[in-house]
Amino acid sequence: MLLLFLAFFRLPAKADEGMWLPFLIDDALFEEMSRMGLNLEPEEIFSFTESSIKDAIVSFGGFCTGEIISDQGLVLTNHHCGRGRIQSHSSVDNDLLTDGFWAMSKDEELPNEGLFVRFLVNVVDVTEDIRSVIQPGMTEGERNRAIRAKSNELTDAASEGNHYTANVSSMFAGNYFYLFTYETFNDVRLVGAPPQSIGAFGGDTDNWEWPRHTGDFALFRVYTAPDGSPAEYSEDNIPLQPRHHLPISIRGVQENDFAMVLGYSGSTERYLTSYGIDYRLENMYPVRIDIRRRKLDILEEAMASSDEIRIQYASKHSGISNYWKNFIGMSESLKRLNVADSKRELEDEFAAWVAADSGRQDEYGHVIDDFRKVYDGLKGFNSHNYVFAEAMPSGPDVIRIANRFNRLNALYGADEIDPVNIADEIERLSGMTEAIYKDYNKGVDRQLWAAMFEVYAEYVPGEDLPDIFAHIGTNHGGDFEAYAQSVYEASIFADKESMQAFLDNPDAEKLATDPAFRAVRSVYDKYSEVNEGRGEYNTMLRRAERYFLRGLMEMKPEDYFYPDANSTMRFTYGSVNGYEPRDAVYYDYTTTIEGVMQKKDPGHHEFVVPEKLVELYENEDYGPYAHDAMVVNFITNNDITGGNSGSPVLNADGHLIGVAFDANWEGMSGDILFEHDLQKCINVDARYMLFVIDKFAGAGHLIEEMTIVE
């Protein structure tokens, strides 16, 4: 099966494209990397039996990547990946976001409940196992249920009698399947983070832009039980002794140097059709951009008014803002580069290839027409799913809080009341109260409630509006501010004290009639009803995508294909180089601390520069970390996406030279179509990180536990 799978891989026309599966490094791929300068054997990059670079790469919290950089379990990732944890330890009196944090001993490192890192242990090709349960004539529903049942059987077997977890991931739109086994560690402590004036320098203004001058990094440490096994937090735990850790190079980067990135790439859609692109441009991006902007306006005004609110909402604001700008960039880039037209050319070629053979017509004749039907059908839902997603579950906190009480409400409404189950559920909810309201402000949330219900009414047609909107019209004259005020005056979820008072003296009727709970149930129930109608189109889409990709592979046997990113480990290879974003403009491949000082603006919160950093710059006190200049960031042409934040950038010898943290504006459509001449991976230079740790923070003890190489 492995040889059959590798037959689908061909080297790209240019080496920068492709998020490759590291356990499928074939001879041709290895030879191409070696030609570009790689000095390693494939087994040194990825091996299941020997220590390899793979063993230093972790999924950080399931949303970013991290890497082990010492023999004491020190983890390097991005500042923005750790922002939520840094913020969780912050207060007005101890503002780690503004001031930074450095543990001067292991006793000072801060635990983070719920944070984990995950190591890849094993991968098995299970395509034939899955195919064995797929029978001719199955409906898509039957096919999916058969795959799910077989996948559960395989994952149960892989995790039986051990502490590993496993999952089956599909590749190539459900044409191939792999079983991934992981080892997860849940005691991960904050070790160090620069102030956000370094770690988030440039803020939203510079986000997704090059040139960049951001020290986007943070340090954590993995702890284990005394016997080295995964364990929950305990004072008795010890630092992880890893199978491999990455040496850090202070040699620096030069143009055309080989560069390799390993990480848990989140999601790409390289095989998205022109129909899908048009749908997004018309029905997805405008809605999500608009609603996110409305949320950001509310948060930014509130955050500017109070340090307490600024700290409370820092992580939420960052999450909303990051993809608000991403959606704008994606939309503009797809239009500017005429990506849909490129896709249409491929679809026309596919249609002609299918029409030329009766057997192909039987197998693939439905595909293009299915895509057309799918997206025509989805347009009839008026972007309801995107409006719901942006306005409700990721809108006011009270929406999410009230939604947590569904199970308690169901227990109260059961035919046979079980007091034990009810007591257990109340205890579970009580245990969450403190954490739920830590980063919550009633006034801010009330504003979000009013704005999000108003935007819901604007976008969703009357026949698809939940019945709560009739109540708003009848009882509040359609005044969403007045409606929000009434909800937050009466709801048990409006503040921590009200919720705890309810849990101390629970009442089924009070829950069922609570204005926030009634609104949540109304909105979610209507969403489920509307979404049911989308089901047939989603099913048709998955089938069309599977057949389309299978047909493309058959049509172009000499071309290269790689599976879309799906949060499994990938590696990409390329080189350090600059680019020409437009006519008569060239962007160099590095930025320096000189640029930080040029951007310095004490009156703009995104461009404040710490006085200590200014002093080090003026004295040129860079230690051994600068040669001709103190490099801050550099760019490569590695193919990355969301989830690669925090990924190590390695040189030809497997030494860490930087950490990936962003992509550039001109290549924003890259998740759908890789732009060879424009798409860039933006990285923090390893030397700048070491300089900040050593000279700025005075945390030289952390440098001492790393392996530094020239």
Q: Which token pair is 649? A: 């950038």
152 with 102: CB under 8 angstroms? no
Containing 101, the helix (H) or strand (E) segment is strand 101-102
Closest CA to 478 of 489, 462, 490: 462
Distance CA 640, CA 462 (A): 41
Containing 220, the helix (H) or strand (E) segment is strand 218-224
Q: Does residue 119 sit in helix, strand or coil?
A: strand
Q: Which token pair is 245? A: 């850790």
Distance CA 491, CA 502 (A): 10
Q: Is residue 413 exposed (0-12), middle (13-18) or buried (19+ Cβ within 10 Å)?
A: exposed
80 noted as active-site residue? yes
Closest CA to 188 of 150, 219, 144: 219
650 with 246: CB under 8 angstroms? yes
676 noted as active-site residue? no
Containing 700, the helix (H) or strand (E) segment is helix 700-704
DSSP structural state of residue 665: G
Percent of the chain as helix, strand, coil, to the nearest 5: 50, 15, 35
Q: Is residue 4 exposed (0-12), middle (13-18) or buried (19+ Cβ within 10 Å)?
A: exposed
The amino acid at residue 292 is: R
β-sheet bridge partners, residue 223: 187, 239
Residue in 383, 645, 647, 669 annotated catalytic: 645
Distance CA 475, CA 642 (A): 44
Q: Which token pair is 18? A: 């492709």
Distance CA 114, CA 218 (A): 18
DSSP structural state of residue 109: P
Beta strands in 560-671 (DSSP E): 569-575, 579-582, 585-587, 590-592, 631-636, 648-650, 656-663
Closest CA to 83 of 300, 318, 292, 401: 318
Residue in 55, 187, 206, 216 annotated catalytic: 216
Distance CA 507, CA 504 (A): 10
β-sheet bridge partners, residue 168: 179
Sign of CA dihedral 337, 342, 343, 344: positive
382 with 460: CB under 8 angstroms? yes
645 noted as active-site residue? yes
Angle between helices 140-159 and 515-555 (to 10 degrees): 90
Residue in 79, 80, 213, 245 annotated catalytic: 80
Closest CA to 154 of 127, 119, 185, 175: 127
Note the helical H segments in 56-195: 79-88, 96-99, 127-131, 140-159
Closest CA to 326 of 676, 665, 601: 665
216 with 78: CB under 8 angstroms? yes
Closest CA to 225 of 234, 240, 237: 237
Distance CA 564, CA 271 (A): 8
Catalytic positions are 80, 216, 645
